[in-house]
Structure 1
Amino acid sequence: MKRERTDAARNRAKILAAAEGIVAAQGVQGLSMADVAAAAGVGVGTLYRRFGDRSGLAYALIDAREREFQAAFLEGPPPLGPGAEPGERVGAFMRALSDRTVEQLDLLLMAETAGPMARFGGAYDAYHGHLVMLIGRVRPDVDAFCVADALLAPLAAPLLAYRMRECGVDVGRVKAALDSLLDGLLG
């Protein structure tokens, strides 16, 4: 793997921080390459060379947070990371994934609706595999493969955005519903 130059890494960090700030203040709709370049103190050409376009920049924002989240559930402290009982880890994972999804809801909404299968693969497969493993340890009698999909479905960005924005459901209510499902499933 080719190592990133120090100045390139510094520019990348400044660009991502500037883009995060713009998304936080204006939403994904306010994410323009020119505004990000100005806020980061780099040329617009640098952004286009590095990220390709606006969607490439959005995916880089998602990727940065995704790496942090995956590190937390794969090797972080319990109960999200190793060291807790599998059932406890499932609950911690679902609550953390709820927060992670809400944190970047507009970016994930854009990413998950880019194509018919855009939600699946990459991160979804990591979440699914993690849940399958944990559920299988607690409930070897259930079809953990399909149960994992059922648990992940309420956190699809389009559904979560609709429920939160159109129906007034807050993330606390979503987490409570997931906890109820897990209580029934995992006892």
Structure 2
Amino acid sequence: MTEPERLRADAVRNRAAILRATEELLAHHHPQQISMEQVAAAAGVGKGTVFHRFGSRHGLMRALMQERAQDLQTAITGGPPPLGEGAPPRARLLAFLGAMVELVARNKGLLAALGPAPVATAPEQEPREEHPVYRAWHGHLSRLIHQQRPDLDDDMLAHVLLATVHSEPILNALEHGAADRLERTLRDLVSGLMPEG
């Protein structure tokens, strides 16, 4: 292995170790209680490496959330049905909403570090709807809605569905274990608009 290849491999390994260490710390501590020094120690790297890779604690939390969101995107584009191709649009839509609620509910501590929106950026950066994760999720929902009900305003309905996980009252409810209630409510909403059969 050449020196540049070894350095790239080290960088990939360090990034994975830092994100894994952050996940483990978030399982036991509120994000505000986690310092970059703790992350570095848990990952077995220098503090400078963490700052170099992610810039700040917010940058680290944002990268971790994006990686988790990317796992869902991979399931949509290449995974088995119903999340992936091969299922009817309604089934895929319901599967996506369930996976989205699970992702948000599982990462409440991480979301607290990022503010009220799971795919938001810092205020000085682009609006939420311009964020790549939001755009991907919105596009996916819009396409599925259009395939099932071309008479509906798929663009606006996709925004409405995504807004549920950007709502402070709903995030507060998720903090108190309401993930099943939220998923049931979204299923009821979609089922009313898109009856089976």
TM-score normalised by the chain length of structure 2: 0.86
Residues paired across the two proteins, number: 184
Match of 2:184 in 1: 176
Check conservation: 2:165, 2:171, Cα contact below 8 A.
Answer: no
Match of 1:73 in 2: 76
Structure 1's unaligned 5+ residue stretches are none
Counterpart mapping for 1:64-103 below 5 A: 64-103=67-106
- 2:104 partner letter: T
Distance 1:106 1:42 in 2: 23
Distance 1:164 1:92 in 2: 19
**Runs of 4+, deviation exceeding 3 Å:** 116-119
Q: Percent identity?
A: 40
Displacement after TM superposition at 1:70 (Å): 0.5
Check conservation: 2:31, 2:112, Cα contact below 8 A.
Answer: no
Match of 2:164 in 1: 154
Match of 2:50 in 1: 47
Distance 1:154 1:176 in 2: 13
Match of 1:119 in 2: 128
- 1:119 partner letter: R
Check conservation: 1:23, 1:30, Cα contact below 8 A.
Answer: no
Match of 1:133 in 2: 143
Supply the RMSD in Å over aligned alpha carbons.
2.1
Displacement after TM superposition at 1:164 (Å): 2.9
SS of structure 1 residue aligned to 2:95 = helix
Distance 1:74 1:131 in 2: 13
Displacement after TM superposition at 1:64 (Å): 1.3
Check conservation: 1:87, 1:134, Cα contact below 8 A.
Answer: yes
Structure 2's unaligned 5+ residue stretches are none
- 1:69 partner letter: L
Distance 1:157 1:19 in 2: 25
SS of structure 2 residue aligned to 1:59 = helix
SS of structure 2 residue aligned to 1:115 = coil
Displacement after TM superposition at 1:135 (Å): 0.6
- 1:174 partner letter: L
Q: Show CA shifts across 1:133-164 (max 9, x none).
A: 01101101111111111211212163432223
SS of structure 2 residue aligned to 1:120 = helix
Structure 1 residues 12 and 169: alpha-carbon distance in aligned structure 2, compared to 1, 3 A threshold: closer
